[in-house]
Chain A
Amino acid sequence: MSLNKRILTFLSICLSLALLVTAGCSSPSGPGGGAPNDAAGEIKIGVVATLSGDGADYGVSIKRGLETARDRINGAGGINGRKISLVIEDSHGDKNEAINAVQKLINRDRVLAIIGPTNSGEMFAAGPVADKAGVVIMGTSNTARGIGEIGPYVFRNSLPEDNIIPITVRKSKEKLGFNRVALLYSSNNDWAVSSAKTFEEALREQGVAIVETQTFADGDTNFQAQLTRVAAAKPEALAVSALYKEAALLLIQARQQGINLPVMGGNGFNDPELIKIAGEAAEGALVGSPWYAGKDDPAVRDFVEEYKKRYHTVPNQFAAQSYDALGIMAEALKTEGAAADRARFRDALAAIKDYRGVTGRFSFDENGNPLMDAVVLQIAGGTYREVK
């Protein structure tokens, strides 16, 4: 076999493998863009979520929220009599898989629009793909900066921490009236670092002095040294940006050292596990959240009940945000012609104003990022309660 022949053989093996993928799939070979081809039947919405691998628990919550929303919308007669169907694909938390899944949904399933992917990194990889193809892609859990700015077809309804933390600080200051704060954060966790930066900016804007900054690392169990320094600076409150495990241990040790100050937390405080581990020490801690399951609102009560009936657990923020995402899309689908044309659907979605979802009143800004208020919660009696 000559060299050229071998290379040809290899390429033909590649080609036959590629044919293997496409075998058994009868896909319409129309043009790549344009209208999805089921103008009278069901309205197909694609979903890309991390359903396996790291972060699969987020993906599963998202899938459950979407399925609950789909059944509710279809049960109420669908969109002008047409039912919504979800085509759900797993991305395995991998950006290449997310790109493949988005390509499949657009080119093979010919969906009208896509919900997902789960991680911000996956959205940065797969978002431009959908945007170039002229298909709406809407994140329900991406909290990085610059998601909506990817392109005109990229939206999200998840509130980034940049928006939540300033609200937490403002409400906490109104309630407690502190002027000196000590900041503690995990310095080897990128998410914690960026939310600590947001805390710094928000505190500065509120005219609060940061009297001490201490850092630790994910996986640390002893925070005595940092807490001693913090206590010496005599702050009136603490701001903590860490995952729930470190945050819980830090709270316990702070109370042991007699630091009984109010604590503001980042998103790591939104995990019920924190209350389980820290127990009494977590009492009084404040955290901002896009979602509060105990809200006194009939829509929220109905959703929580329905979700509990199906999955025997209270919906978390990922389930609630994805539930709202499909609700927002359904609202846009009611617009004339939006259900048959990807570009029209995009314009209808961008025009959504004051949608009343379970996470609150919702509008898109000009980039497709959410305009909404966060709820500030306080841990009291071993559970989260809304701060009025």
Chain B
Amino acid sequence: MDLLNVYHLQIITFMAVNSILALSFYLPLSAGQLSLGCAGFMSIGAYTAAILSLHYGMPVFTTIPAGAAAAALAGVLLGFPALRLTGVYLAIATLGFGEVVRVLFLNLKITNGALGMPEIPNLNDYFSALYRSWGLQGGLAGLDLPRLAALTTVVFCYFVLAACVAFVLRQENSRTGRAMAAVKADEVASGVMGIGATYIKMLAFVQGAFLAGLAGAISAHVTNFIAPGDFNYHRAVNILLFVVLGGSELVWGGLLGAAVLSVLPEFLRFMQDFRWIIFGALLAAMMVFRPQGLIDRQLLCRFSLRKKPGMDGMDARSSSGEVD
């Protein structure tokens, strides 16, 4: 048991990035929009952060918000035409958007085309340099410098994640969140009740894009290197998988799904050649036994101290039948 091993800290960092991605998929879904554009928005965030830090020498703490903002802007531009579509047609259009972005980055000069962008400043190095400038070459409290830096990266990522989770939860219990749930349940009826469905859908969509861009920007600063191939269709499906596996009804579902799917491949390393066979079998088994995902409302009610479901006012949502 050695949680402060740099290897384990690395996995925990990836877990945070994937959790933010799961949130970015969950947000539009909570307003009834199945968007598969996460990979595209993630790449916009990642490339924006990479270009700003490599070509313009901007520090990490400005490039990460800039990446998120660029993705949100793209979300606004895409949202206008795309949100006229519903259900599976929106999914196809947003998936197409992801491919368009990928091919664009594949052919631009500034993104170095298919060769990708190496030497992106790493968060660990940034914190290492910071601690060195404070005269902590020897580390602190029995931790050597590499571990201390890796731990700081983890704390930073989880701080960002906690802020995102707090925002999503606050919104769910606000007027806006109720409106999203209403639009998800029945768009026409919610319109009759005086909810501006277009505005609400757009809001959820852009928020999702913002979070995907944020995750992309952080991942660029964690993995040292990005290439267009990192953000292909497989990535979009992977993000979808977090939410489908964990449960698409609640925030916690996607977060748990992201955590499980980040850890599982590493946990199964001891299986060597059988690793992906076991991984696939586990996924299939989970889909058979928990088609609604690992966490759903009922399960949460059983564990929480509440007497009956629906105190959150979220019972207006339909079950997640449209994700299949």
Spell out A's residues near B (CB within 8 Å).
1, 3, 6-7, 10-11, 13-15, 17-23, 25, 27, 29, 31-33, 51-53, 88-90, 92, 95-97, 99-100, 103-104, 106-108, 121, 124-125, 127-129, 132-133, 144-146, 150, 190-191, 193-194
**How close is B191's CB to chain A, nearest CB, in angstroms?**
30
Alpha-carbon gap, A66 to B260, bound state (A)? 33
Alpha-carbon gap, A106 to B144, bound state (A)? 15
B113 proximity list for chain A (CB < 8 A): 190, 193
CB pair A103–B12 under 8 Å, yes or no, is: no
Alpha-carbon gap, A121 to B165, bound state (A)? 32
Number of interface residues of B (CB under 8 A): 55
Chain B window 146-166, contacts with chain A (Cβ cutoff 8 Å), 1 for yes, 0 for no? 110000000000100010011
CB pair A90–B7 under 8 Å, yes or no, is: no
CB pair A124–B7 under 8 Å, yes or no, is: no
Q: Does B199 sit within 8 A of A, measured CB to CB?
A: no
CB pair A18–B263 under 8 Å, yes or no, is: yes
A32 proximity list for chain B (CB < 8 A): 6, 144, 146-147
Q: Does B298 sit within 8 A of A, measured CB to CB?
A: no
Q: Which residue of A lies closest to B224 (CB)?
A: A128
Q: Does B132 sit within 8 A of A, measured CB to CB?
A: no
A17 proximity list for chain B (CB < 8 A): 15, 259-260, 263
CB pair B8–A124 under 8 Å, yes or no, is: no
Alpha-carbon gap, A96 to B265, bound state (A)? 11
The verdict on A97 contacting B265 (CB below 8 Å), with A22-B1, A32-B146, A190-B113 known, is yes
Q: Does B302 sit within 8 A of A, measured CB to CB?
A: no
Alpha-carbon gap, A32 to B230, bound state (A)? 29
CB pair B269–A190 under 8 Å, yes or no, is: no
The verdict on A99 contacting B223 (CB below 8 Å), with A13-B259, A21-B267, A190-B115 known, is yes
CB pair B305–A1 under 8 Å, yes or no, is: yes
**How close is B210's CB to chain A, nearest CB, in angstroms?**
20
User: Which of the residues A11, A51, A100, A124 comes within 8 Å of B266, measured between beta carbons?
Assistant: A100
CB pair B166–A18 under 8 Å, yes or no, is: no
**How close is B183's CB to chain A, nearest CB, in angstroms?**
23
**How close is B300's CB to chain A, nearest CB, in angstroms?**
9
The verdict on A100 contacting B15 (CB below 8 Å), with A17-B263, A22-B5 known, is no
Spell out B's residues near A (CB within 8 Å).
1-8, 10-12, 14-15, 19, 106, 113-116, 118-119, 122, 124-125, 144, 146-147, 158, 162, 165-166, 169-170, 223-225, 227, 229-230, 252, 255-256, 259-260, 263, 265-267, 269, 272-273, 275-276, 304-305
CB pair A33–B146 under 8 Å, yes or no, is: yes
Number of A-B residue pairs, CB cutoff 8 Å, is 137
**How close is A342's CB to chain B, nearest CB, in angstroms?**
13
CB pair B15–A27 under 8 Å, yes or no, is: no
Q: Which residue of B lies closest to A6 (CB)?
A: B169
CB pair B7–A107 under 8 Å, yes or no, is: yes
Q: Which residue of A lies closest to B258 (CB)?
A: A14
A-B contacts, 30 listed (Cβ < 8 Å): A1-B305, A3-B166, A3-B169, A11-B158, A13-B256, A18-B11, A18-B12, A18-B263, A20-B263, A21-B11, A22-B3, A25-B2, A27-B2, A29-B2, A32-B144, A32-B146, A51-B273, A92-B265, A92-B276, A96-B14, A100-B11, A103-B6, A107-B7, A121-B116, A125-B223, A128-B119, A128-B224, A133-B6, A133-B146, A191-B114
User: Other CB < 8 Å A-B pairs besides A92-B276, A100-B10, A193-B114, 14 of them?
Assistant: A7-B162, A14-B19, A19-B1, A19-B3, A22-B8, A32-B146, A32-B147, A53-B276, A95-B225, A132-B125, A132-B146, A133-B6, A190-B113, A190-B114
CB pair A10–B269 under 8 Å, yes or no, is: no
CB pair B116–A124 under 8 Å, yes or no, is: yes
CB pair B14–A100 under 8 Å, yes or no, is: yes
**How close is A59's CB to chain B, nearest CB, in angstroms?**
11
Q: Which 6 interchain pairs have the tightest Cβ spacing?
A: A190-B114, A124-B225, A103-B7, A124-B118, A107-B7, A125-B225
Alpha-carbon gap, A368 to B324, bound state (A)? 50
Alpha-carbon gap, A129 to B267, bound state (A)? 21
CB pair A10–B255 under 8 Å, yes or no, is: yes
The verdict on A7 contacting B165 (CB below 8 Å), with A29-B2, A121-B227, A124-B116 known, is yes
User: Which of the residues B146, B166, B227, B230 comes within 8 Å of A7, measured between beta carbons?
Assistant: B166
Q: Which residue of A lies closest to B165 (CB)?
A: A7
Q: Which residue of B lies closest to A105 (CB)?
A: B7
CB pair B115–A31 under 8 Å, yes or no, is: no
A124 proximity list for chain B (CB < 8 A): 116, 118-119, 224-225
User: Which of the residues B5, B114, B165 comes within 8 Å of A108, measured between beta carbons?
Assistant: B5
Alpha-carbon gap, A7 to B252, bound state (A)? 10
A150 proximity list for chain B (CB < 8 A): 118-119
Alpha-carbon gap, A113 to B240, bound state (A)? 37
A19 proximity list for chain B (CB < 8 A): 1, 3
CB pair B122–A128 under 8 Å, yes or no, is: yes
B7 proximity list for chain A (CB < 8 A): 100, 103-104, 106-108
Alpha-carbon gap, A7 to B225, bound state (A)? 31
Alpha-carbon gap, A100 to B147, bound state (A)? 15
**How close is A94's CB to chain B, nearest CB, in angstroms?**
9
| Residue among A7, A14, A106, A129 with the highest chain B CB neighbour number at 10 A | A14
CB pair B269–A27 under 8 Å, yes or no, is: no
The verdict on A3 contacting B115 (CB below 8 Å), with A22-B5, A129-B224 known, is no
**How close is B134's CB to chain A, nearest CB, in angstroms?**
19
**How close is B323's CB to chain A, nearest CB, in angstroms?**
22
Q: Which residue of B lies closest to A89 (CB)?
A: B269
Alpha-carbon gap, A85 to B6, bound state (A)? 23
**How close is A215's CB to chain B, nearest CB, in angstroms?**
13
